[in-house]
Structure 1
């Protein structure tokens, strides 16, 4: 057996074990009020957040997390169905319950919101943490809509196929909002009006919705993925810096969120038609390699770098960019067999499990700096519900198992 084969086989087993551990940890925890997923734990102290923790505490439910969690529950239930039937059944039970809760929330006015208070009313918080009611979204859509729409479609495809049309329309509405200027990224500001007009053309929304393409294909819904190539073409045309291979957050800007660039490449490679386009695959692999090399230091990837100077612009290295790198590098390597993509896969794997993964419980430190784990929240205080880490590792499992058994470059026979 070659060293590469040994890595693929060991990694696939370890990733499945890590995912199972996270899911069992999450399912064993008491639900939040109304029955939502509860990942409200401090990743440094392992203490549960309580009411004294304010916006991090159990009085607040985050639409982002619940939408992500639903997609993760459904996807992992399908994966474990033939590997751990008892876990798959538990995941389906939780998935059906969360499906019902999110349908109810979204059914109020056609939207999901970033944060809900104890009465499940949409609220936003100022810089001083003062909480006020959020404006109705109206014809504006947000990341919370994006994550919730993805979760609802995934859940409907498994639990209620007859409901798919309404959830696919919701997803299509989010996509349309991105393309006609009605998508607001900043959900702590009043939705619509002035805040929407001030937003820059960041590629983040297209990147996140691109992630639905592979999911739709696995659900047998490839007819609904035509938008994906438009999104890929747009990002490459307007955001790719040809000199460095990095993606500018906004056209003409200098900041590059390297994790988002790597995530974009991974989502694009997960879209089946892309795999038959060698030139595009090469471009996506270049984005991966450039982004990783520009930002990785010591234990992880710096959140932001300068495109022009290469300077790392923040000391923070969040956990999520490493599993996203694992996914993207695995998908690249499956298609190209390049030494660079394999080396990045192995380096990201080593860094994540050495510096971030806690093991007991099966969670990761949210953020590190050069000095070690730090109490910095990248987006939401709730820990990852099997989304960034779980779905990334799940994609890498599929690749590792395929490479270790059938890939002509690595077959042991």
Structure 2
């Protein structure tokens, strides 16, 4: 796995999180545009951004592709579950995800009814398609049963989940029995070719393996463990070039088409055709299944031996098939001549790069020793960079373009369906990568300090007895800004040398900072140090807020927050506590008179504990110190007309002299209403 201090990992996680979330947000926003439409709508040309929903043709609203709906339903269910891990990081709203998913699930169930419980590749908006039942299950059945099971298992009733589970198992068993057909249709700009000469692809077994993993993860289903083993055995025994049994292709190549004689088939041009993307997808799904077996399956010796044997094979499969597939322009070739290693088509689909990334990540997790090999790391970074550069950043919308040519330019080729990916290949693959990488990423810190000292002559807030404006600066006022992030959470801390804030100001500034940092407003803590020698930023008694100063202070804080964008470093937190009798209760109650007076009370309640959090970087240097103390910052005379941060500012000065001027010192003044300095 990645070194936890590697500077490239956390930025990659941020990129992945953006890509994953943006697809789901687009799906939800599109649904909001057409709430009466019962399907996922990704009917957009990603190359130029054309909205094809109402434009007659293969991308219009009346061409509903079951593959997209089933894949999208599974993606919505899994994404919804995954987003629940996050705290303080904005993610698509769960209720919107459930609303769209429920709509699609209902539409798919209704579409099955007139078709003897089956689904077909293309339907009209009402769910009707051209279908003649011949006793076989379809690839559309596989995708849609996966989606229905994932959704109903996570969000439905037990009865719905059980029915969907049975549907899914029936499809898997049909694939194993050979009672299955790929119902994909070719388009004019498609690379898909259907063969009717008895040759067999392993696509069904590969995709059914993903279904078996779902059953194992969500239900710990013993039968699914056995089904998954059969699916893997079929691919390894029939399609993997083990021990060079087919000497014309490289050992460990996975051959797409095998004839009834058990030999690799040739295409119309006489080539042994490989599909490296499918091979790499199978490797990733196989690693995912084996990891699920380790976590949820039996722990007997035979099971361990089977898992370990396959785990030992996967790195070789990965290396050989990646070598066949990766093109220098940055993509995975759709079709390759197994003998010469040359491209058979001038196209590379988007989906094979995230699938390859998943394969690299999960094979490392399955087989690695806790750190990434240099080879895997190099290829993971290379694939991610190629995906972002060639497919994602060139798209007119926040979903990858479908295909590029060998020069790395987008082309209008349809890999499977005209509709775009609903978070299936891209989102589900990147989620697996994200979760694996996140295990190695420590807490990330970024911090800064901004000067908010006003000009002389301002009024000061805190004491009614002070009548004069500020005549001197005893020490400067600051706002200290810290952002702490980890893969699934974030919190911002801002400590400001003023008396207090208004609720309206806090709401407004939280929203502004939220947009800058992309974290939830509720995870931004704005703290006033409560110094009594700073300009007024709220109305208190007869003293109104200094609006000019308030605007200046706000600008400084927001500018400081912007400076922290894309600045983070790995850190660890250290916590300490001590007690110090620096405060004294300032309320005395006279029981005889029934009155309470403002005067020192040694017997009164107070909190003498001081909590300290130190933030250390990878060199063990202190980067920030947060301290919590419950004593009023009122060490200065009530009539003294000077600007000062009071004792929190003095503590900051002492700590900076000890640990360096760059350390960010964050005072967090606790509940101190009845406690003043013991002077």
Q: Would the TM-score normalized by the shorter structure come out above 0.5?
A: yes
Unaligned runs of 5+ in 2: 187-193, 245-249, 265-271, 296-303, 444-569, 573-617, 619-679
- Counterpart of 1:72 (choices 59, 62, 75) is 75
- The separation in 2 between residues aligned to 1:34 and 1:224, in whole angstroms, is 37
- The separation in 2 between residues aligned to 1:344 and 1:102, in whole angstroms, is 39
- The separation in 2 between residues aligned to 1:178 and 1:118, in whole angstroms, is 28
Name the structure 1 match of 2:60.
Answer: 57
Structure number with the higher strand fraction is: 2
Name the structure 1 match of 2:19.
Answer: 18
**Number of residues of Structure 1 aligned to a counterpart in Structure 2:** 394
Contact map agreement 2:182 2:204 (CA 8 A) in 1: yes
Name the structure 2 match of 1:328.
Answer: 359
3-state DSSP of counterpart to 1:144: helix
Name the structure 2 match of 1:345.
Answer: 380
Question: How far off is 1:181 after superposition?
Answer: 2.0
Question: How far off is 1:378 after superposition?
Answer: 0.4
- Counterpart of 2:311 (choices 266, 276, 281) is 281
Name the structure 1 match of 2:166.
Answer: 169
Question: How far off is 1:99 after superposition?
Answer: 1.6
Confirm or deny that 1:263 pairs with 2:281. yes
> CA 1:118/1:373 → structure 2, altered by over 3 Å: closer, same or farther?
same
Name the structure 2 match of 1:362.
Answer: 398
- The separation in 1 between residues aligned to 2:255 and 2:571, in whole angstroms, is 39
| Higher Cα Rg, which structure | 2
Name the structure 2 match of 1:290.
Answer: 320
Question: How far off is 1:213 after superposition?
Answer: 2.6
Contact map agreement 2:4 2:442 (CA 8 A) in 1: no
CA deviation map 1:2-57 (0-9, x unaligned): 58733332222221121111111111013486421100001111101155442222
Name the structure 2 match of 1:128.
Answer: none
3-state DSSP of counterpart to 2:73: helix
- The separation in 2 between residues aligned to 1:136 and 1:111, in whole angstroms, is 10
Unaligned runs of 5+ in 1: 123-133, 190-194
Contact map agreement 1:246 1:290 (CA 8 A) in 2: yes
TM-score normalised to the size of structure 2? 0.55
Question: How far off is 1:164 after superposition?
Answer: 2.0
3-state DSSP of counterpart to 1:230: helix
- Counterpart of 1:395 (choices 424, 432, 438) is 432
Name the structure 2 match of 1:27.
Answer: 28
Confirm or deny that 1:313 pairs with 2:344. yes
3-state DSSP of counterpart to 2:404: strand
Contact map agreement 1:285 1:341 (CA 8 A) in 2: no
Give matches, 1:78-117, under 5 Å: 78-83=81-86, 84=90, 87-108=93-114, 109-117=116-124
> CA 1:207/1:397 → structure 2, altered by over 3 Å: closer, same or farther?
same
Question: How far off is 1:171 after superposition?
Answer: 1.1
3-state DSSP of counterpart to 1:56: coil
With 269-278 and 19-28 compared, the bigger mean Cα shift is at: 269-278
CA deviation map 1:330-349 (0-9, x unaligned): 11122324322222211110
Higher relative contact order (CA 8 A, sep 6+): 1
- The separation in 1 between residues aligned to 2:217 and 2:413, in whole angstroms, is 35
- The separation in 2 between residues aligned to 1:290 and 1:223, in whole angstroms, is 32
> CA 1:4/1:231 → structure 2, altered by over 3 Å: closer, same or farther?
farther
CA deviation map 1:363-383 (0-9, x unaligned): 111000024110000000000
- The separation in 2 between residues aligned to 1:220 and 1:86, in whole angstroms, is 26
3-state DSSP of counterpart to 1:5: coil
